[in-house]
Amino acid sequence: MNIVVFGSGAIGSLFGALLAKQNKVVLVGRAPHIKCIQQKGLTINGKTHLTVNVPAVESTKEVFLSADLILLTVKSYDTETASNQVRPLLHDQTMVVSLQNGLDNIEKIEQNIEKKHILAGVTTHGALFSAPGTIIHTGKGKTILGELDGRPSERLNMLISIFNQAGIETQMSIDIKREIWRKAIINSSINPLTAFLGCKNGYLLENPLLEKTVEYVCTESSRIASLKGIIVSPVEMIEKTKEVIRDTAENDSSMLQSIQQGKKTEIESINGVLLRIGTEQKIDTPLNRILFELITSLCLH
Ligand SMILES: NC(=O)c1ccc[n+]([C@@H]2O[C@H](COP(=O)([O-])OP(=O)(O)OC[C@H]3O[C@@H](n4cnc5c(N)ncnc54)[C@H](OP(=O)(O)O)[C@@H]3O)[C@@H](O)[C@H]2O)c1
């Protein structure tokens, strides 16, 4: 399969490297990462050890391959630009798959790309940008892919088998939107709390007051999900969130890393969307509002 990975940072480079073993892959990303890959190949360390020579470019204008699959792996605040930039690569059968976190990526992609091309996914793999040309695979996880309308299509089956052949353990979902929501509910507490406090994920369960806060935020975010017809059990979401915290206890969350690096965060696409839904439906969402405002205030400096 011909695959373009658009936004080859941490997770995009990891998936690109694994898929490149059996597919034609082109990575699109930023210098100096791309320049290093062109010169020395792409190295994955950590849970995976791999160096691959894979074509890498800085713009879709340099992609001369008919793309069967475009993986979108930019941060959610870059989704609109990314979907606009990949549009010239599309042919009738091209699949565009978002592996991003956040609740508004699909609607942003739909502004530039016809719905029939779009599928969605979530992954619990962890990847960290170490240095140009080098990514650390911090945690092995699972990937779930689905059609937006939930149907188990032939192209989805093909995609899942290509991912599995590449060693990316992947399953199908007949309700991928629910999976995206579940991940966002988990992230709605872990990301902003760790980013604001400047702590590792595990600290949220070491401190009883923070553990309670995690529970309150999960409950509020689950209630907001139900306003959109996504029915999840708050108790199950609390348990799942605590499981993720335990599994990633030693990690800095992606939002904390963004704050530390003076970069934008994905707060708008997670707590920001939850807050917006509450406002639209005239439901008070004080915890998501506070977390959204705390993180936004940090980014103003
Ligand atoms: N990393 C993980 O472990 C992980 C796991 C699961 C899900 N996710 C999700 O996956 C998404 C990507 O995360 P990530 O950690 O891989 O982020 P990342 O390391 O920042 O990777 C995104 C890359 O895309 C580049 N980019 C953005 N716009 C571009 C453009 N127009 N042309 C070329 N390159 C462009 C970025 O460059 P600049 O930064 O210079 O703009 C960055 O290098 C997020 O939604 C995240 O929440 C990540």
Looking at ligand 1, which atom is closest to the CA of residue 81?
Answer: 31
Phi, psi of 103 (to 5 degrees): -100, -5
CA of 286 to the centre of ligand 1 (A): 29
Class for domain 178-299, per CATH? mainly alpha
Catalytic residue among 75, 108, 183, 242: 183
CA of 76 to the centre of ligand 1 (A): 8
183 in active site: yes
Domain boundary assignment for the chain = 2-174, 178-299
pLDDT tens track for 78-115: 999 999 999 999 999 999 999 999 999 999 999 999 99
Nearest CA to ligand 1 atom 31: 82
Closest CA to 157 of 166, 143, 147, 168: 147
CA dihedral 213, 104, 78, 17 (to 10 degrees): 80
Looking at ligand 1, which atom is closest to the CA of residue 187?
Answer: 47
> What pLDDT does 299 receive?
80
Class for domain 2-174, per CATH? alpha beta
Q: Is 129 in the pocket of ligand 1 (CB under 6 A)?
A: yes
Strand-pair partners of 43 = 51, 134
Neighbours of 286 (CB within 10 A): 11
pLDDT tens track for 46-58: 999 999 999 999 9
Helices and strands (H, E) in the chain, number of each type: 12, 12
Residues of the chain with pLDDT under 50: none
Q: Who's near 184: CB < 8 A, 6+ residues apart? A: 101, 102, 103, 221, 270, 273, 274
DSSP string, 159-181: HHHHHHHTT--EEE-S-HHHHHH
Q: Is 127 in the pocket of ligand 1 (CB under 6 A)?
A: yes
> What pLDDT does 301 receive?
56
CA of 267 to the centre of ligand 1 (A): 14
Q: Is 82 in the pocket of ligand 1 (CB under 6 A)?
A: yes
Q: In the numeric block, which tokens belong to residue 139?
A: 């945690």
Q: Who's near 182: CB < 8 A, 6+ residues apart? A: 232, 237, 240
The whole-angstrom separation of Cα 279 and Cα 93 is 39
